[in-house]
């Protein structure tokens, strides 16, 4: 079985004070996009997991989320069979695009199809939550608002503000991904957020209540309106340490982006364009220095 695992971007990201369980409450809009890892799953008669990542940079052992997903599914379902997993990696690593989480969700989805009627949707969701806060999102197939630690999901209509009438082709807008050569570690980003929050709580987003990005999305009339109301709380934390990221964001606006932002904890910065021609012209500006991808939202 061949499965495509999509990347995501965050449209807005509010981060709250760390909870006693060490998770941070968040509010965000997860938007899946047309950049995919590709996984091949094959059931084996003998027990065990074989995982080929095709890269020395990605662990192929039981520390990988794909391995853990397969292990927990097979154990929960009480199956004696095993699985071979081959991963073709296209989503950048430690880039704020959820590649590892999406791969894990793809393994769960794939195994549920290869072993139908073994686990319920709720059981699969419960496994996903144990793997990571954003893994449950990738069991969906459309944009969602996320709250809690990212596991409380509600579908949203993102195309309402990011599409235009089209007689031919897709009506959706286009997203230019600018992918720096360096990663940013999510755990380190949260640790720096906590440090800066403790030193200056008013500046770094210690709010009495979460920002409700689902509500803000409903209030927007166009994607360009988001400039003044949709923000990523990691930007003031990370931009002083990685000024190049702030420069990329500003260059995207200079190139005509209707909206631009860091996604997740980075390092990818994206620009949203209603017209494909504008996205492609902007891509030329970055292509010599960065890996770039022009993608669309999945809805």
Nearest to 53, CA basis, from 8, 91, 105, 9: 91
Count of other CB atoms within 10 angstroms of residue 62:
11
Write out the H or E segment, with its range, that includes residue 128: helix 121-131
What span, in angstroms and rounded, lies between the C-alpha atoms of 143 and 13? 14
Q: What are phi and psi of 78, to 5 degrees?
A: 70, 35
DSSP assignments along 73-89, one per residue: HHHHHT---EEEEEEE-
Q: Is 8 a catalytic residue?
A: yes
What span, in angstroms and rounded, lies between the C-alpha atoms of 110 and 103? 10
Nearest to 193, CA basis, from 181, 203, 178: 203
What span, in angstroms and rounded, lies between the C-alpha atoms of 284 and 35? 19
What is the maximal distance between C-alpha atoms in the chain?
58
Catalytic-labelled residue, pool 37, 68, 89, 134 = 134
Count of other CB atoms within 10 angstroms of residue 222:
13
Q: Is 249 a catalytic residue?
A: no
Nearest to 237, CA basis, from 272, 186, 286: 186
Catalytic-labelled residue, pool 8, 68, 89, 249 = 8
What amino acid positions are annotated as catalytic residues?
A: 8, 134
């Amino acid at each position: 079985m061949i499965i495509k695992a999509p990347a995501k971007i965050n449209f807005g990201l509010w981060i709250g004070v760390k909870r006693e369980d060490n998770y941070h409450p968040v509010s965000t809009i997860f938007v899946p996009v047309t950049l995919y890892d590709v996984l091949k799953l094959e059931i084996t008669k003998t027990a065990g997991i074989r995982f080929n990542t095709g890269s020395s940079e990605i662990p192929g052992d039981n520390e990988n989320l794909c391995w853990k997903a397969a292990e927990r599914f097979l154990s929960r379902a009480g199956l004696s069979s095993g699985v071979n997993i081959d991963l073709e990696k296209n989503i950048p690593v430690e880039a704020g695009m959820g590649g590892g989480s999406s791969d894990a969700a793809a393994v769960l989805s794939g195994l549920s199809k290869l072993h139908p009627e073994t686990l319920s949707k709720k059981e699969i969701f419960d496994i996903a939550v144990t793997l990571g806060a954003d893994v449950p999102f990738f069991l969906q197939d459309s944009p969602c608002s996320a709250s809690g630690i990212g596991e409380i999901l509600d579908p949203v209509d993102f195309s309402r503000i990011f599409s235009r009438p089209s007689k031919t082709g897709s009506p959706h807008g286009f997203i230019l991904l600018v992918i720096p050569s360096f990663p940013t570690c999510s755990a380190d980003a949260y640790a720096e957020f906590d440090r800066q929050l403790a030193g200056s709580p008013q500046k770094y987003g210690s709010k009495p209540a979460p920002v409700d990005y689902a509500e803000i999305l409903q209030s927007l009339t166009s994607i360009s309106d988001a400039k003044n109301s949709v923000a990523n709380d990691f930007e003031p934390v990370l931009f002083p340490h990685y000024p190049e990221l702030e420069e990329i964001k500003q260059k995207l606006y200079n190139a005509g982006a209707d909206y631009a932002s860091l996604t997740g904890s980075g390092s990818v910065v994206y620009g949203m364009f209603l017209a494909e021609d504008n996205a492609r012209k902007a891509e030329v500006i970055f292509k010599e220095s960065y890996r770039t991808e022009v993608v669309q939202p999945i809805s």
